[in-house]
């Protein structure tokens, strides 16, 4: 849930990167961390297993600048993608303001994408949210790999509501900041809309 | 998206002063107040060396995980936690289900004293959060949010 502090003049929002295991959620955050100036970012935290699989979450605090004298701070989280960490995923969705779904474009991961998207929708319902009413951006990652589904196929399977979508190669950063900007913008726009502005 | 949580300058000042009093009365190293989603709200004491943003996010994650455990055990929320370190100990308490109060202390204090002082501080904080909620609900003045224009948002993302 966004938090507006009229005393320290800050707007805080929570973004969650969701998607199947090994799809590139952590890589998105690592690229953002690597390419952001030191004054705009805090420390990146990864609660990972010894084999670098996300165990609980990754966390990256980012400052995007000021709006009307208020600092905008975005807290970026990833969820663990592996199926059996569902309880952890539910916890991380609490208080979410916007979601990025990082889909794995490889044909053999199509089923995992669909399963993860269903899981996102279901877990949001349990937290009292409706994915169709939440700021939501779709990212088709790993576009550089050889065995990938076409964007049209991914769109048909994963994006029937036509939310804004991006092709990405998170390892080299293609599409990463475009995705971040789109979700941050959607969250701020929704915040304003929710306030009646 | 649910309505945003807010904090106003007057209550922020009062909450900060409760944190400072707790820091002094509990002989604590530091006191932090954090929103349930991990945003730092107020602090007192020796926080200069601490990465408050990271600590806040991890504490909120910890509290959320503990809440998950309590659900599995069909227990109501565990309202407090204690982590015993070699030098620094951490006492974590929920404040009216809205915030998390973290007290860091060492051998200059004791768990009993911290618990005692925390109880009083959380009561005061709960009252102040109630006040904030009432004020936010009654607020009819222009909010920062509806002053924001498309151009303001676009300006943030100009490279």
Indicate if the pLDDT at residue B135 is higher than 80. Answer: yes
Is B38 in the A-facing interface, judged by CB distances under 8 Å? yes
Is A43 in the B-facing interface, judged by CB distances under 8 Å? yes
Indicate if the pLDDT at residue B159 is higher than 80. Answer: no
Cβ-Cβ pairs closer than 8 A, A with B, add up to 142
Q: Looking at CA atoms only, how far is residue B110 from chain A in angstroms?
A: 30
B84-123 tens-digit pLDDT: 999 999 999 999 988 999 999 999 999 999 999 999 999 9
Confidence at residue B141, expressed as pLDDT on a 0 to 100 scale: 58
Asked whether B55 and B83 are in contact (CB, 8 A), the reply is: no
The helix (H) or strand (E) run that includes residue B115 is helix B111-138
B30-35 sheet: strands from edge to edge? B40-45, B30-35, B99-105, B89-95, B80-83
Confidence at residue B140, expressed as pLDDT on a 0 to 100 scale: 64
Domain boundaries, chain A: 3-193
Look at A194 and B13 and tell me if their CB atoms are within 8 Å: no
Look at A70 and B144 and tell me if their CB atoms are within 8 Å: yes
Asked whether A33 and A41 are in contact (CB, 8 A), the reply is: yes
For chain A, helix (H) and strand (E) counts, in that order, are 5, 8
Provide φ and ψ at A53, rounded to 5°. Answer: -90, 140
The helix (H) or strand (E) run that includes residue A185 is helix A176-194
Confidence band of B154 (pLDDT split at 50, 70, 90): confident
Facing B4 at nearest CB: one of A65, A191, A197: A191
Report the C-alpha gap between B75 and B1 in whole angstroms: 28
Q: Looking at CA atoms only, how far is residue B36 from chain A in angstroms?
A: 8
Contacts of B9 in chain A (CB under 8 A): 6-7
pLDDT, mean over chain A: 95
Report the C-alpha gap between A185 and A191 in whole angstroms: 10
Look at B156 and A47 and tell me if their CB atoms are within 8 Å: no
Flag the least confident range among A68-72, A159-163, B28-32, B135-139. B135-139
Report the C-alpha gap between A60 and A45 in whole angstroms: 7
For A49, which DSSP code? -
Confidence at residue B155, expressed as pLDDT on a 0 to 100 scale: 84
ipTM for the whole complex: 0.86
For residue A110 the two structure tokens come to 């199509």
Q: Which residues of chain A have pLDDT under 70?
A: 196-197
Q: Tell me: domain A3-193, CATH 3.40.50.300, correct?
A: yes
- Within 8 A by CB and 6+ apart from A40, the residues are A62, A63, A64
Confidence at residue A37, expressed as pLDDT on a 0 to 100 scale: 93
Is A88 in the B-facing interface, judged by CB distances under 8 Å? yes
Provide φ and ψ at B51, rounded to 5°. Answer: -80, 90
Is A181 in the B-facing interface, judged by CB distances under 8 Å? yes
Taken in order of first residue, the domains within chain B and their CATH numbers are 9-156 (3.30.450.30)
Report the C-alpha gap between A197 and B73 in whole angstroms: 44
- A95 in the Ramachandran plot: left (φ > 0), alpha (ψ -120 to 50) or beta? left
């Amino acid at each position: 849930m966004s938090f507006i502090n009229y005393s320290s003049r800050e707007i805080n929002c929570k973004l969650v990167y969701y998607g199947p295991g090994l799809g590139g959620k952590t890589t998105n955050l690592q690229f953002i961390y690597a390419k952001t100036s030191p004054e705009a970012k805090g420390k990146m935290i990864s609660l990972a297993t010894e084999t670098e699989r996300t165990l609980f979450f990754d966390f990256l605090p980012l400052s995007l600048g000021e709006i009307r004298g208020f600092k905008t701070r975005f807290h970026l989280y990833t969820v663990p993608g592996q199926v059996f960490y569902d309880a952890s995923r539910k916890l991380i969705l609490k208080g979410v303001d916007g979601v990025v779904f990082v889909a794995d474009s490889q044909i053999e991961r199509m089923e995992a994408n669909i399963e993860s998207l269903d899981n996102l929708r279901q877990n949001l319902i349990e937290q009292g949210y409706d994915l169709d009413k939440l700021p939501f951006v779709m990212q088709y990652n790993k576009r550089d790999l050889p065995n990938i589904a076409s964007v049209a196929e991914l769109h048909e399977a994963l994006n029937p509501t036509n939310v804004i979508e991006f092709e990405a190669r998170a390892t080299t950063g293609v599409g990463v900041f475009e995705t971040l900007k789109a979700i941050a913008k959607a969250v701020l726009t929704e915040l304003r809309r929710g306030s009646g502005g | 998206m649910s309505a945003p949580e807010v904090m106003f300058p007057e209550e922020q000042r009062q909450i900060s002063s409760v944190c400072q009093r707790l820091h002094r009365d509990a002989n604590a190293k530091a006191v932090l107040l954090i929103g349930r989603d991990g945003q730092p709200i107020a602090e007192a004491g020796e926080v200069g060396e601490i990465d408050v943003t990271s600590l806040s996010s991890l504490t909120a994650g910890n509290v959320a995980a503990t809440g998950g455990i309590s659900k599995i055990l069909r227990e109501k929320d565990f309202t407090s936690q204690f982590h015993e370190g070699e030098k620094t100990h951490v006492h974590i308490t929920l404040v009216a289900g809205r915030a998390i109060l973290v007290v860091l202390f060492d051998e200059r204090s004791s768990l009993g004293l911290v618990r005692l002082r925390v109880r009083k501080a959380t009561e005061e904080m709960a009252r102040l959060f109630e006040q904030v909620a009432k004020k936010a609900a009654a607020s009819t003045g222009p909010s920062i949010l509806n002053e924001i224009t498309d151009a303001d948002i676009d300006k943030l993302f100009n490279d």
